[in-house]
């Protein structure tokens, strides 16, 4: 039996009118501002398309060398560097190179966007208890919403394409970096802040010279989790036109191509492990460096 049938007809009609009002309001908003929002994100689309084309056009040995250098700079571990090289060689051997480059492009751009917006939001929440009181429930709600739900308003507003997929990935992946930036800055010891004040540091000098450097391990942990969440969103975002490894995974699900789905899924796992180990090792080195400074 329908749950609504238990309510009087007048209340049921009011609920139906409310739903119709919300739908009509959203349609009016999308017609009025949809094009404006698309134009706002046009530079982001340009950057994403150019980066994707650049990665695909770059010879594969050069990409592997660049990734190996980045792995060494981040981790200083020869094992991680060798694992990175072998993973990309396997990806190329099994014919997943272009999809992997497209995935790298979307992950890179979404991570940059999340860092550029998430760190300032985290600083704002750390700076203001009122901002934290407002922001924490919003972040909690966003964290409990299933990933697929993020596609609904974005697709209804902007349609199918790279930009809606990128926005959905960014909204889903921005949560950790906001939370951990806020946490990292709030965990900075009062003694360090008092020492900065004693030297006459103003707000900017205290923020950029003391709080952010000491909070870097937490911030990099947030970047790590943001990358992981962006990678986990790749398959879902492929439903609305985002190129990459998620497209063959989605195709394998639709057509029961076990080998295709397994190989591309393992490629996503390989990327996740590489990025996770590099960012974690770099964060650990920052943590040890900070402890060494405190010890000295």
32, pLDDT greater than 50: yes
> Rounded to whole angstroms, how far apart are CA atoms 159 and 237?
13
pLDDT-derived band at 85 (thresholds 50, 70, 90) equals very high
Closest C-alpha to 263, from 39, 91, 30? 91
Q: What is the pLDDT of residue 180?
A: 92
Question: Contact 237/168 with Cβ under 8 angstroms?
Answer: yes
Report the Cα 151 to chain-centroid distance in Å. 15
296, pLDDT greater than 50: no
> Rounded to whole angstroms, how far apart are CA atoms 183 and 225?
14
> Rounded to whole angstroms, how far apart are CA atoms 92 and 90?
5
159, pLDDT greater than 80: no
Neighbours of 275 (CB within 10 A): 23
What b/e string do you get for 186-218 counting C-beta neighbours within 10 Å, with b at 16 or more?
A: eebeeeeeeebeeeebeeeebbeebbbbbbbbb
Task: Please give the mean pLDDT across all residues of the chain.
Answer: 83
pLDDT-derived band at 295 (thresholds 50, 70, 90) equals very low
Mean predicted confidence (pLDDT) in 249-269: 83
Q: Is 54 exposed, middle or buried (0-12, 13-18, 19+ CB in 10 A)?
A: exposed
Mean predicted confidence (pLDDT) in 88-102: 90
What's the distance, Cα to Cα, between the start and end of the chain in Å? 71
Q: What is the pLDDT of residue 151?
A: 80
Mean predicted confidence (pLDDT) in 118-138: 89
Dig out the tokens for 10 from the structure.
């007048």
> Rounded to whole angstroms, how far apart are CA atoms 84 and 229?
20
Residue with token string 């926005």 = 167
Q: In the 3-class helix/strand/coil scheme, how is 67-110 assigned residue by residue?
A: HHHHHHHHHCCHHHHHHHHHHHHHHHHCCCHHHHHHHHHHHHHH
């Amino acid at each position: 039996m329908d749950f609504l049938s238990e309510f009087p007809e007048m209340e049921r009609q009011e609920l139906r009118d409310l739903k119709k009002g919300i739908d009509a309001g959203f349609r009016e908003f999308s017609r009025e501002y949809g094009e404006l929002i698309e134009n706002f994100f046009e530079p982001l689309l340009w950057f994403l398309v150019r980066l994707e084309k650049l990665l695909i056009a770059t010879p594969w040995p050069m990409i592997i060398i660049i990734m190996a250098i980045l792995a060494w700079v981040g981790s200083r571990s020869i094992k991680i560097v060798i694992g990175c090289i072998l993973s990309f060689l396997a990806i190329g051997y099994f014919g997943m190179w272009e999809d992997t480059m497209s995935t790298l492009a979307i992950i890179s751009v979404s991570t940059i966007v999340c860092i550029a917006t998430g760190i300032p939001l985290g600083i704002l929440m750390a700076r203001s208890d009122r901002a934290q009181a407002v922001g924490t429930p919003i972040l909690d709600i966003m964290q409990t919403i299933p990933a697929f739900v993020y596609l609904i308003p974005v697709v209804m507003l902007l349609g199918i394409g790279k930009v809606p997929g990128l926005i959905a990935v960014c909204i889903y992946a921005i949560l950790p970096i906001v939370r951990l930036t806020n946490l990292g800055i709030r965990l900075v010891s009062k003694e360090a802040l008092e020492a900065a004040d004693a030297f006459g540091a103003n707000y900017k000098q205290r923020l950029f010279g003391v709080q952010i450097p000491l909070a870097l391990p937490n911030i990099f942990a947030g970047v790590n989790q943001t990358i992981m969440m962006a990678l986990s969103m790749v398959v879902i975002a492929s439903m609305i036109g985002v190129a990459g490894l998620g497209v063959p995974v989605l195709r394998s699900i639709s057509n029961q191509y076990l080998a295709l789905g397994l190989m591309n899924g393992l490629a996503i796992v390989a990327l996740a492990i590489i990025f996770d180990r590099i960012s974690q090792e770099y964060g650990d080195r920052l943590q040890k460096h900070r402890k060494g400074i405190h010890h000295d």
